[in-house]
Structure 1
Amino acid sequence: MLVTTLPNKVNRVLGPRMLITGLPLLLLSVVVGRSVAGQSAVSLDLEQEAQAQYETLLDDLNEIERFERYAEETYHPEALVKRSDRDPLDVLVRRTRALLDDIQGRFAAPELKELSAKFAALSERATLVDAGEKPRRRKLFGELFLLRRKIAFSNPLLDFDKLLFLKRDRATYDHMCDQYYGTNAAPGGGVYLLSDPFSDAPTSTDLLANTVVTSGRLASTSLVNGSFLSPEISYDGKSVMFAYVECVGDPSHVTHLDHANNGHWDRGRCYHLFSMNVDSESLETSNLRQLTDGTFNDFDPCYLPNGRVAFISERRGGYLRCGRDCPSYTVHDMKPDGSDIRILSPHENNEWHPSVTDDGMLLYTRWDYVDRHGCTAHHPWIMTPDGRDSRAIHGNFSTKKERADMEMDLRQISGSAKIIGTAAPHHGQAYGSIIIVDPNIPDDDAMAPVRRVTPDVGFPESQNGAQVYGTPWPLSENYFLCVYDAKMAKGTGKHNKPEGPGQYGVYLLDAFGNKILLYRDPAIACLSPMPLRARTKPLVVADQSARLASDPPTEGTMAIIDVYDSMLAWPEGTKISALRIYQIYPSSTPSAVGLSPHQLGRRIAEAADSNNLARSVLGTVPVEKDGSAYFTLPALKEVYFQALDEKGLAVQSMRSATWVQPGERLLCYGCHEPKQRAPQMPEQTPLALLREPSVPTPDVDGTHPFSYPRLVQPVLDAKCVSCHAESLDQGAPPLDRQLVQANLTANKNLSKLTTVYRSYDSLVHDYAFWSYGDVYRTRPGQFGARASELYKLLSAGHHDVELSEDEMHRITVWLDSLSNFYGVYEEEGGKIQLKGGVAHPTLQ
């Protein structure tokens, strides 16, 4: 039976502090009772925990090959299971020794000498007991398990006595996006505080017990029977923000098109942001305020050093592109009282979990889903707190099988460049294996900058791992708080999804493979543990945009030092004359109900995927002979660029996107130049910077908005239709405007007939081209018109057809633009385009 110590309150009744043996844990809870509203003593069944960890290590010992496969990718070798380990006791001895040595190397204290002596004695006994004497070794495991707990709690990093955390069950839908829709929240839980978490007598306090909201729609009510998400503590440690959904009202998606005004959901099914003051001494809360409301999900608040608050919201508008009613959400910010909400990121797809680095930058996860497979790029990005200069840190073009699908809950380790996070699945939730990312290590599209803190769990989905760990909070490069559930390793199903809601407990985790249980509620899962204390405020990055002005400008500028500065080699002799600027548009309808410009087939990603994005050509700007360019861009419009040769053909193309804030002056050194290399500044001022910024020159009709009927079909009508009509019996494809129902995807699950011209159906499958030359990256000179069968045919001379320069340009722009048909998503706009009219996307 567990040996533990009664809390001080009980000691005052029973006498001096004493060891109690044989007393059921349930009785301990009853004896202690509740001292204040919402507060109760914590009972931990450490025998059960020891048995669970023993069994987990037994399983690990049967997976030696997997540990060896991950050995070079593992952050610390002691976290591995090795062939020299005979049983769980050997593993525990080795990992406890590493823990003790690390603490002793940092902090010399008298109690460590006593603990060290006890460990030496237990380790000696473990050496003397033969591996075949399993009962004796299992008993030694139990003794060392409790000693390890004491050693772990002697760590000087544990210099705080309050832990904030949530009680919250997993969402009812397993998908990286859907887990954050309030309609998928399971009611129950709350915001809790664990006092004395590193003692034998912690207490748990429900911070919202007997507390009512003081402002907003829910004023004078208590936050009960709903669900909680994403807590965050202010830098002074006195305020807490979190998201809450009432879990009432219509759970279905209630609107599609009116993004700006009506949102997407019943407001009782949306997460809204709240804040409250917390007195860490009295454990009393005050001023519980509702900050946001409406029919949008708002969550993941993040205090910014500039005094504002970043958060994730659906207010930008747009939808996921794989067949469900899934609104997109991106990074926004606001004043601390919930007013003055602004878009920080106009990205067309989902983003998650903003946090602030030591140097004041905003770190977050972005789903970069531009012209490529949807399951490959959900990795760290960084931008200034005013939304400027958004850039990928690493992994944006990684190979799926070699990396985690997603890296979530990212936080910089204070005083270090390294970042802690969770390697999570695409088709799952934000749990998996804990990783550390070192941005100073050059990215290799694989694991070079990434190390596994928990090699006992493979990456979910991409490597058939399980959703075991989550929400890590760094205390140093070797010690972390997190949640953990060993039962998740037993998950079943295609992606090792759990059976049931999960029993995540709060743990102290170290890099050596040790996990120390701090708290578990058998009735509900826990999430997001973090110290309730003041912390150093990061540097304030000065605003360099005019986005907060009463009348902000509608433009910014961008300068490129040298377009030839690239990670991949350009075709020999390439001369770049211009940049083509595209705007990409968020999907304004769910993919299941709207049009698609076309649907991505096997050629773009070597596997069928989701709907392609609508886009427009905003125009072209000149590139100087030294490779420099300088031009204006519309503010808060998501754009990407193509480098054009002297014939106007695209040689290189982004498969990502960027933007400028109002008044921003954005600078890039090249076209995807190596991130870890120092900028190669020219000896002389780039030529483009010696003049005023270029204003993009609009392209031909049919490119803005994009429209195959206006861009390509007029060329076919003038030069191709009649001849092909006369040669149909000889196998010539029809090239007229007759409407047909075409299947434009190779994915049977997404297959739907789309109304297009017969000419488009004839050309798009065999003659057009929308591959970029590689599954993950664009290969310069190996995509678009340059690689298409149609351009080859026309360039070589097709019968007696003679195309003017303008006509050939129209064909090449279409081929370089993924051979789209529509430039809109809505059926109404599609009907206008089918008649040759002009229709703009409703969401820009």
Structure 2
Amino acid sequence: MKLLHTCLKWGGLIAVIAQSLNGAVDDQEIKNQYAVLSADIAKREKMERYRDEVYHPSAMIETSDRDPLDVILRRTQVLLDDIREMEGSPDLEGMARSLGALKSRGKEVSVKDKDERLAVFAQVHRLRRKIAFSNPQLDFDQVLFIKRHRSKFDHMCDQFYGAEAVPGGGLFVLSDPFGEQAKVRDLLNGVELDSGRMKGGELDGGSFLSPELSYDGKRVYFSYVECTGKPGLITHLDHAKRGHWDRGRSYHLFAADLGEDGSLSSLNQLTDGTFNDFDPCPLPNGRVAFISERRGGYLRCGRACPSYTVFDMKQDGSDIRVLSPHENNEWQPSVNHDGMIIYTRWDYVDRHGCTAHHPWIMTPDGRNSRAMHGNFSIKSKRADMEMDLRAVPGSPKIVGTAAPHHGQAYGSLVLYDPRIPDDDAMAPVKRLTPDVGFPESQGGTQVYGTPWPISEKYHLVVYDASMRKGGGRQGGEYKRGDYGIYLLDAFGNKILLYQDPEIACLSPMPLRARSMPPVLPEMTERLAQNPTMHGTMAVMNVYDSKLPWPEETKIKALRIYQIMPSSVPSGKAPHQTGRRIAEASDSVNLARKVLGTVPVEKDGSAYFKVPALKELYFQALDENGLAVQSMRSSTWVQPGEQMVCHGCHENKDSAISRRQQVMALRRAPSEIVPDVSGTNPFSYPLLVQPVLDQHCVKCHAEEKEKGAPPLDARVVLSQLGGKKTKVYQSYDSLIHKYAFWSYGDRYRTIPGAFGARASKLYRILKDGHYDVKLSREEMHRITVWLDSVSNFYGVYEKEGGEAQLRGEVVQPTLE
């Protein structure tokens, strides 16, 4: 076969060593890479759209690339040149001569001679391996990784439920990964657990997820699910029983200690229960962050899908504390060079549900959680998600996977530079792999995953060429994924290190010690025995905003909302909390309550107390109590935290004003002044209906024949967002034409163009509606309802909804 032809016409001028790949495996990999490059050349014009966004131009297909041989020769030369410039680079003259000879041969062989050019391609392929493995940055001799099948359900949330795991896999080490005799060993083979519910047993028959190394390289944290017991959701969150799954269908955290000889000296179970616990992340302060469902709450997109957020614990699994009380899902915490936690958060508050899953950052004690970039991304110009975030050694940049919303954590790879101002598009982001567009938002597929940066230009990744044709279920069949471990460079080269033909690999990382980031001081009371369950927030200048405010706007107060997580599976809920946001998503609004208001000083500053570990958002109110600006994100404080914000949707790169010049900080923090009845907890029957009963119901009933909509409190089924929901007749009459439920912009709020100001009902009442004269409080009741996305309910459960329909005060069961 010419593909494996080694008798070069050039008489031994080129010496190529097929290291850990040989025979049929090498043959198949060459075929795969040749086919992939052929496909890239065929879609050259499509890739060209990304030229200005690519990290290194060599990863593109050039007009001079006639076939895959031209591509691999060009990229191998760039690789060789880059390694030559590195400190500690070996003598590459022999390989340079070999490459030069192959380049000459490539010029001689006609493009029409497919077989001969394929044979030369194979020779370059093997030479490229040798060149790549000469990289002095590859100064480790073991790679830790797991084997696992892709999850059964193709969704960003469900992929991390143990109930969707496919049994099989394990925790492995690849030794001598860049040598001629790479070997794989199963770290857990024959090892019994030293502690926990499964003490004395082995971890076999289940599925593995999210390995992570301690900074000294001597402990491996990972997640494991037994894949036993009932596979479905068996419990729902309530006051008596917390949890969602059979414990045999939940991921739990484990720690394996490595001995001097590389074998395991101990294996311990750290967490247990009816929650999924996964994505462990050792912190410089000695604790371990991880992702857990313990916060409670469910996805709002139509099925039973528990949420999970960032927690932390001691290294032995004790003292579990919530770091993030976010109402929705979060993923994959890691630590950057500054000692901060970076993680992916689904920021899904009153807006489009398929875009805002991008990097967030917070201190290891859970303070100062903020979006890093992309939180108001423009769909199609950006990835739906950025996952597997890792700080790049020797660089301020962060590598991640651009993944789909409706899919798993695979896609295209990107580098994010936090020094570049966010433009809600691609300014701070560069593509490492322009051969694959962003899944879902740009039609790309789930090809690359779990990058581990060695430097900006070199990464350990997993890659599956077959996924370029699609992913997940194809033709109704479950697709397992054939992801292998590769060394990827920024020039477009991919070097296979290891692949198991029976099961996918995931999460490769060097098995060695690494530098520990600085330890940031604990500056909250969260670890105290009796913490103060409040903090303070300061806003320097509410007028500092990316978007212009209406002329002559004067802000007098901030309205503070608390967001309620969905306490029941959205697919089962008989009540909708208001109306679905028409432009935003197919999901219901969040239930919320108005905690009250705090004053804003003449210079736009505010300083006030807020309850700790409650998810909050704010609205800026004018002198009439109407909202002018509203968050469509959320925040919180840890016990005792003092949070400072610069402005109201301000440019994140703005400098904080000097505090001594800020009026609000010259006094004690304001206490929240509660709002009117019906706002806490939120309830249309208590907030709005009394106003209608007093001024509107009788007249509208009398004028029914003239087209006046009925405004009484009869319970009807309203068609809201595709589902019929029990509401009052008045609500059904107002919500469709007169209330506010559409922001217009899917991603951010236009100041002065939402809520009461954007509603038809407010204009009618303000301009004078027959002889209706509302008191100031009554008008306020209408406007706060309109500013609150015109919700009906403040709870999710059937019983609570029925009670609210009867006009009763009902507190949410999950806050």
User: Do the two structures share a fold, i.e. TM-score over 0.5?
Assistant: yes
Q: Which residue of 2 aligns with 1:28?
A: none
Equivalent positions of 1:264-343 (< 5 A) are: 264-279=244-259, 282-343=261-322
Using the alignment, how far apart are the partners of 1:497 and 1:234 within structure 2?
41
Q: Which residue of 2 aligns with 1:704?
A: 680
Using the alignment, how far apart are the partners of 1:286 and 1:618 within structure 2?
53
Do the aligned partners of 1:465 and 1:496 also contact (CA within 8 Å) in 2? no
Using the alignment, how far apart are the partners of 2:89 and 2:805 within structure 1?
79
Do the aligned partners of 1:491 and 1:498 also contact (CA within 8 Å) in 2? no
Name the SS for the 2:120 alignment partner: helix
- Relative distance call for 1:151 and 1:266 in structure 2 (3 A) is same
Using the alignment, how far apart are the partners of 1:170 and 1:350 within structure 2?
20
Select which of 778, 787, 793 maps to 2:764: 793
Do the aligned partners of 1:558 and 1:633 also contact (CA within 8 Å) in 2? yes
Select which of 791, 811, 825 maps to 2:782: 811
Q: What amino acid sits opposite 1:789 in the alignment? A: K
1:49 aligns with 2:25: no
- Relative distance call for 1:112 and 1:260 in structure 2 (3 A) is farther
Using the alignment, how far apart are the partners of 1:661 and 1:44 within structure 2?
57
Equivalent positions of 1:19-58 (< 5 A) are: 45-58=25-38
Equivalent positions of 1:236-255 (< 5 A) are: 236-255=216-235
- Relative distance call for 1:726 and 1:106 in structure 2 (3 A) is same
Q: Which residue of 2 aligns with 1:172?
A: 152
**Once the two structures are superposed, what CA deviation does each residue of 1:616-675 show, in whole Å capped at 9, x if it has no partner?**
000100000011100000000000000000000000000000000000000111112111
- Relative distance call for 1:23 and 1:744 in structure 2 (3 A) is closer
Equivalent positions of 1:632-711 (< 5 A) are: 632-681=609-658, 684-711=660-687
Q: Which residue of 2 aligns with 1:156?
A: 136
Do the aligned partners of 1:466 and 1:497 also contact (CA within 8 Å) in 2? no
Q: Which residue of 1 aligns with 2:327?
A: 348
Using the alignment, how far apart are the partners of 1:764 and 1:414 within structure 2?
53
Using the alignment, how far apart are the partners of 1:313 and 1:91 within structure 2?
45
1:839 aligns with 2:810: yes
- Relative distance call for 1:259 and 1:93 in structure 2 (3 A) is farther
Select which of 696, 702, 710 maps to 1:720: 696
Q: Which residue of 1 aligns with 2:600?
A: 623
**Once the two structures are superposed, what CA deviation does each residue of 1:714-735 show, in whole Å capped at 9, x if it has no partner?**
0000000000010111100000
Do the aligned partners of 1:770 and 1:816 also contact (CA within 8 Å) in 2? no
Gaps of 5+ in 1: 5-17, 26-42, 746-750
Q: Which residue of 2 aligns with 1:733?
A: 709
- Residue 679 of structure 1 and its aligned partner are, at CA, apart by 3.0
- Relative distance call for 1:19 and 1:797 in structure 2 (3 A) is closer
- Residue 493 of structure 1 and its aligned partner are, at CA, apart by 8.5
Do the aligned partners of 1:3 and 1:20 also contact (CA within 8 Å) in 2? no
Could you state the TM-score of these two structures normalised by the residue count of structure 2? Answer: 0.96
Q: What amino acid sits opposite 1:226 in the alignment? A: G
Using the alignment, how far apart are the partners of 1:758 and 1:666 within structure 2?
43
Equivalent positions of 1:127-276 (< 5 A) are: 127-258=107-238, 261-276=241-256
RMSD: 2.0
Do the aligned partners of 1:490 and 1:498 also contact (CA within 8 Å) in 2? no
Q: Which residue of 1 aligns with 2:10?
A: none
Equivalent positions of 1:354-753 (< 5 A) are: 354-491=333-470, 500-598=479-577, 600-601=579-580, 603-605=582-584, 608-681=585-658, 684-745=660-721, 751-753=722-724
- Relative distance call for 1:627 and 1:19 in structure 2 (3 A) is closer
Select which of 92, 98, 104 maps to 1:118: 98
Gaps of 5+ in 2: 6-14
Q: What amino acid sits opposite 2:385 in the alignment? A: M
Name the SS for the 1:65 alignment partner: helix
Do the aligned partners of 2:152 and 2:478 also contact (CA within 8 Å) in 1? no
Q: Count residues in correspondence.
A: 805
Do the aligned partners of 1:371 and 1:604 also contact (CA within 8 Å) in 2? no
Q: Which residue of 1 aligns with 2:799?
A: 828
- Residue 597 of structure 1 and its aligned partner are, at CA, apart by 4.5
- Relative distance call for 1:637 and 1:673 in structure 2 (3 A) is same
Q: What amino acid sits opposite 1:175 in the alignment? A: H
Q: Which residue of 2 aligns with 1:11?
A: none
Do the aligned partners of 1:596 and 1:611 also contact (CA within 8 Å) in 2? no
- Relative distance call for 1:534 and 1:259 in structure 2 (3 A) is farther
Equivalent positions of 1:758-773 (< 5 A) are: 758-773=729-744
- Relative distance call for 1:602 and 1:304 in structure 2 (3 A) is closer
Q: Which residue of 2 aligns with 1:96?
A: 76
Using the alignment, how far apart are the partners of 2:408 and 2:56 within structure 1?
26
Using the alignment, how far apart are the partners of 2:449 and 2:89 within structure 1?
32
- Relative distance call for 1:834 and 1:599 in structure 2 (3 A) is closer
Do the aligned partners of 1:259 and 1:318 also contact (CA within 8 Å) in 2? no
Which deviates more, 118-127 or 787-796? 118-127
Do the aligned partners of 1:650 and 1:816 also contact (CA within 8 Å) in 2? yes
Select which of 32, 38, 57 maps to 1:77: 57
1:64 aligns with 2:40: no
Q: Which residue of 2 aligns with 1:7?
A: none
- Residue 326 of structure 1 and its aligned partner are, at CA, apart by 0.4
**Once the two structures are superposed, what CA deviation does each residue of 1:79-135 show, in whole Å capped at 9, x if it has no partner?**
011121010000001100110010001146553121112111211221222222222
- Residue 599 of structure 1 and its aligned partner are, at CA, apart by 5.3
Q: Which residue of 1 aligns with 2:9?
A: none
Q: What amino acid sits opposite 1:766 in the alignment? A: K
- Relative distance call for 1:21 and 1:106 in structure 2 (3 A) is closer
1:783 aligns with 2:759: no
- Relative distance call for 1:259 and 1:468 in structure 2 (3 A) is farther
Name the SS for the 1:759 alignment partner: helix
Do the aligned partners of 1:226 and 1:244 also contact (CA within 8 Å) in 2? yes
Identity %, equivalent residues: 64
- Residue 443 of structure 1 and its aligned partner are, at CA, apart by 1.0
Could you state the TM-score of these two structures normalised by the residue count of structure 1? Answer: 0.93
